[in-house]
Amino acid sequence: MDRAFLEGLGLRVSESEGVVEAELELSSGLALNPLTRQVLSAVHFTVLGDRLLYVGPPEFVGAQPINLAFLTGSTRLEDLVVQTLNDHLYQLERRSNELSALGINPKVDPATLQLSVELERGRFKFTLGASRAGQFRVARCLLDDHELSLSGAATSFELSEFRDRSALEDFLYAMFGDLAGSPTPPPRASDEAPAIGEDVAIPMSALFQAFGDATVPPRAIMEFFCELKVSGETVRFAAARVQGRTFRGLLAGAAGKIWADRFELDEFPGIRALVSELMKTPIEEIEVVE
């Protein structure tokens, strides 16, 4: 990128060992860290091709790069920088409110303004992080305090599709459970009668036998979990109601997510039929783990 053009935008440009860096002084006083109450006086960039990549201060690291191809000499670069920060603060507030509505306590690092949350499911501990655009992903997964590799696993998800904390935790367990080898399965109903107040999973057959003539209210939370054996591999299916007859589903195995999508109840072929189609296995060879 032409140095004169960069300097015309108000950037102070320097180059060392082939790396082009640029600094922009912020004079408006509008770039404010709301947690520390510190006014940010400058931002630092690395120039990569026709893009400015934020490298400092910490409040901006990881923000969407600025595409110089769309700028002109009259562009007020500081306005773009302030807008970048304001967009992030909007996402920070929006996602924090969504987490609180799920019963989850959000954490925001005062120095970096990065949003994160920690959840536990059995032997698992998950650290979730949000990008500056508000997209959530699994940043870290521990099993018995040993970190699991997330290499190659699809770790992003849309937070708004979960109705409560339990649904999100079930989703994470289904996605990463098999990465542990043979993790402790979630609680299941046993042949013995559970103690009063004990948390247990309830088989659908038991629900149908008891309430088969009833209907489910339009806004009631509905979540389902199923573990299956497919050619010796354990896979997990999870589904949760989004609204009406629309559900969000996930199928995950040893390598992480196999399938995830929304579906309509009337068009859903059944769990074993779905697994058969996705994994190219005859349906009679798919075993539901009791």
| CA dist., res. 123 & res. 100, Å (int) | 24
Nearest to 73 by CA among 29, 11, 126, 127: 11
Q: Say what the pLDDT of residue 186 is.
A: 46
* SS3 call for 22: strand
Please classify residue 267 by burial: count the beta carbons closer than 10 Å to its beta carbon, then call 0-12 exposed, 13-18 middle and 19+ buried: exposed
Q: Say what the pLDDT of residue 192 is.
A: 46
Q: Say what the pLDDT of residue 188 is.
A: 39
Q: Do residues 66 and 46 make contact, with C-beta atoms less than 8 angstroms apart?
A: no
Nearest to 238 by CA among 247, 104, 75: 247
Those residues of the chain that have pLDDT short of 50 are 182-194
Q: Say what the pLDDT of residue 75 is.
A: 79
Nearest to 122 by CA among 188, 41, 215: 188
The verdict on pTM exceeding 0.75 is no
Q: What is the pLDDT of residues 109-147, one digit of tens each?
A: 999 999 999 998 878 899 999 998 888 988 888 988 888
Residue in this structure with the two tokens 């499911």, named with its chain if needed: 121
